[in-house]
Structure 1
Amino acid sequence: MSVRELVVLGTASQVPTRGRNHNGYLLRWDGEGLLFDPGEGTQRQMLRAGVSAGDITRICLTHFHGDHCLGVPGVVQRLSTDRVTHPVYAHYPASGEHFFKRLRHASAFHETTELHEEPVAAEGRVVSGPFGELQARRLDHRIESFGYRLVEPDGRRMVPELLARFGIGGPRVGLLQRTGTLDVDGHTVHLEQVSEPRRGQRAAFIMDTRLCDAVYDLADGADLLVIEATYLDEDAALATEHFHLTAAQAGRVAAECGVRLLVLTHFSQRYSQVERFREEAAEQFDGEIVLAEDLVRVPVPRRR
């Protein structure tokens, strides 16, 4: 059975708090496990959340500020400690390749797991596979930073009533899906006659940035949008100065881009009442909003 969910490992920004670890987000997408921005302490958070090293197939870094990457050494070493047998791929801004190599080899260990580095040098497709396509767009931050977007290809949904009308059932349904046509009593039935378009699902991950075109491009039509909301609107000037977003800006992006589920995270330690982030976002966006908490699991919304 396929599983699509976000496992939140950490939700703090630059400084962790008693209740919030540095960043860390595992997107479980069928057979893939994309670990975004593992900050310091991610390995322990994985244990607390019930996530194994074997769940990870890709490590995706938006940029090389410490709260988004200092967990890499522990995670990389854990892959080999647990003898993960499948290859793991690492995607990160190519301009920080020297940082990744230092993190990867931060201390001595016996490396057994295949870790393939695939630096991101330009916007567009990062990699494609059965899961769909992983895309990247360059954000507006102090150092080079990329946001990511996972896009499942559009497909078709079989309509039981139409299948019954043509007398198609059992293994022949799968055959029709694979071949596109099926002979039924001397007549050719086309896939389009017994199915309807099914839009592929989309998930977007946007960390440290000011508002820019890339934010909207990444969020466009997302079923799940995980986005930083470091500041409240009262500190919008600070957000701009430090290249971050406010909760209100995140809500506005979700509203304008037709997002289904908005997950706010990366909260500054200056705020003790995080419910205010939801209130500000909700003034702009009337859809579902989740205030990310460490160790929670957020299901990707079901298809419409």
Structure 2
Amino acid sequence: MPARELVVLGTASQAPTRHRSHNGYLLRWDREGLLFDPGEGTQRQLLFAGVASSAVTRICLTHFHGDHCLGVPGVVQRLSLDKVAHPVVAHYPASGAHWFARLRYATAFHEVAELREEPVADDGPVATGAFGTLSVRRLDHPVESFGYRLDEPDGRRMLPERLAAAGVTGPAVSRLARDGSIEVGGRTVRLDDVSAPRPGQSFAFVMDTRLCAGVEELAAGVDMLVIESTFLHPDADLAHSFGHLTAREAAEVAARAGVGTLVLTHFSQRYRDPLAFAAEAAEVFDGPVVVAADLMRIPVPPRRRR
């Protein structure tokens, strides 16, 4: 199983269809499991995907429209039913705290799992740790909405041939990585001498929004961009009136931002052919385009050398 992958749980927009469940996306990122926008049916979709509730470490809501949050009650209660031992952190727009309270305690249940609420009020970092930095940017939708971005810090990758030439072996490699330099055979070996820069990976999640500065900032240079493309471009006026993007607009963002892999999702039920979204995006973006489907698994692409 890849250490970093996107598990797609649902890809519909306002109304689910026979083939698409409401939104739901689990980003596996090493030991973290970030569950984005769990819509109605997410608990069951997790079962179909073979993902245990214990895989979830964070719940990240972009906004409080039903297709992005009506799965919260089932997920929260399942955490306690399964006696998940680690704390789970919930991020959501602070202006919707009353909605989250209703979702969290929608029915009576025996609360065992620890759910920590960390509402989001402004642009900026919301969490940091070994996984990197999770940050948010405000989007443009009829209700307050935030997009999320995860950035791994840059690091170094060891070069075996240079390590061997410098006589650095075994536990000395770890000491060198930790301390930055070590003494070997009476001379100093520096980390820069035996390694090369390793750019950190990055991921962005952009849901319901019109084009705005936040979209561009979230997408800038990421390895994977998951972004709504509710409409096709002939319906751009309709998209904008409801606060959404078209597939062409999403792809134009990806092209401007230098995105690695573009993942399109959140499709209106008015469209029958998912390939139309890929075709529209390919007209303006020449990188890999994935039209998300329920229960699809998408590996986070390898780090790019920048």
Question: Do the two structures share a fold, i.e. TM-score over 0.5?
Answer: yes
Who is 1:146 aligned against?
A: 146
CA contact (8 A) 1:2 1:29 kept: no
After TM superposition, the structure 1 stretch with the greater mean CA deviation from structure 2, 173-182 or 103-112, is 173-182
Report Cα offsets for 1:156-207 as digits up to 9, x if no partner: 1111121122011222111110111111111111111111111100000000
Q: What letter matches 1:137 in structure 2?
A: R
2:273 is the counterpart of 1:270: no
CA contact (8 A) 1:210 1:245 kept: yes
Within 2, Cα distance between the matches of 1:200 and 1:48?
31
CA contact (8 A) 2:2 2:299 kept: no
SS, match of residue 217 in structure 1: helix
Who is 1:175 aligned against?
A: 175
Q: What letter matches 2:207 in structure 1?
A: M
* Divergent runs of 4+, >6 A: none
Who is 2:242 aligned against?
A: 242
Within 1, Cα distance between the matches of 2:283 and 2:73?
40
Report Cα offsets for 1:66-123 as digits up to 9, x if no partner: 0000000000000000000000000000000000010000000000000000000110
What does 1:75-90 align with in structure 2 at a 5 Å threshold? 75-90=75-90
Who is 2:117 aligned against?
A: 117
Report Cα offsets for 1:20-69 as digits up to 9, x if no partner: 00000000000000000000000000000001100000000000000000
Report Cα offsets for 1:109-140 as digits up to 9, x if no partner: 00000000000011000010000000000000
Within 1, Cα distance between the matches of 2:44 and 2:299?
22
Q: What letter matches 2:245 in structure 1?
A: L
Within 1, Cα distance between the matches of 2:253 and 2:210?
12
Within 2, Cα distance between the matches of 1:303 and 1:215?
22
Who is 1:166 aligned against?
A: 166
Structure 1 residue 2, shift from structure 2 partner: 6.6
Who is 2:258 aligned against?
A: 258
Within 1, Cα distance between the matches of 2:258 and 2:167?
38
After TM superposition, the structure 1 stretch with the greater mean CA deviation from structure 2, 250-259 or 22-31, is 250-259
2:44 is the counterpart of 1:41: no
SS, match of residue 86 in structure 2: coil
Q: What letter matches 1:231 in structure 2?
A: F
Who is 2:298 aligned against?
A: 298
Q: What letter matches 2:263 in structure 1?
A: V
SS, match of residue 44 in structure 2: helix
Within 2, Cα distance between the matches of 1:205 and 1:19?
22
Who is 1:192 aligned against?
A: 192
Q: What letter matches 1:153 in structure 2?
A: P
Structure 1 residue 238, shift from structure 2 partner: 0.5
Q: What letter matches 2:136 in structure 1?
A: A
SS, match of residue 135 in structure 2: strand
Within 2, Cα distance between the matches of 1:195 and 1:2?
25
CA separation of 1:76/1:155 partners in 2, compared to 1, >3 Å: closer, same or farther?
same
What does 1:13-92 align with in structure 2 at a 5 Å threshold? 13-92=13-92
Gaps of 5+ in 2: none
Sequence identity (%) = 67
Q: What letter matches 2:124 in structure 1?
A: G
Q: What letter matches 1:233 in structure 2?
A: H
CA contact (8 A) 1:2 1:31 kept: no
Q: What letter matches 1:222 in structure 2?
A: V
Gaps of 5+ in 1: none
- The count of corresponding residues between Structure 1 and Structure 2 is 304
Structure 1 residue 248, shift from structure 2 partner: 0.2
CA contact (8 A) 2:76 2:104 kept: yes
Within 1, Cα distance between the matches of 2:2 and 2:205?
21
Within 1, Cα distance between the matches of 2:159 and 2:200?
17
Who is 2:230 aligned against?
A: 230
TM-score (norm 1): 0.99
Within 1, Cα distance between the matches of 2:164 and 2:176?
14
CA contact (8 A) 1:203 1:222 kept: yes
Within 2, Cα distance between the matches of 1:272 and 1:49?
24
Within 2, Cα distance between the matches of 1:169 and 1:267?
53
SS, match of residue 173 in structure 1: helix
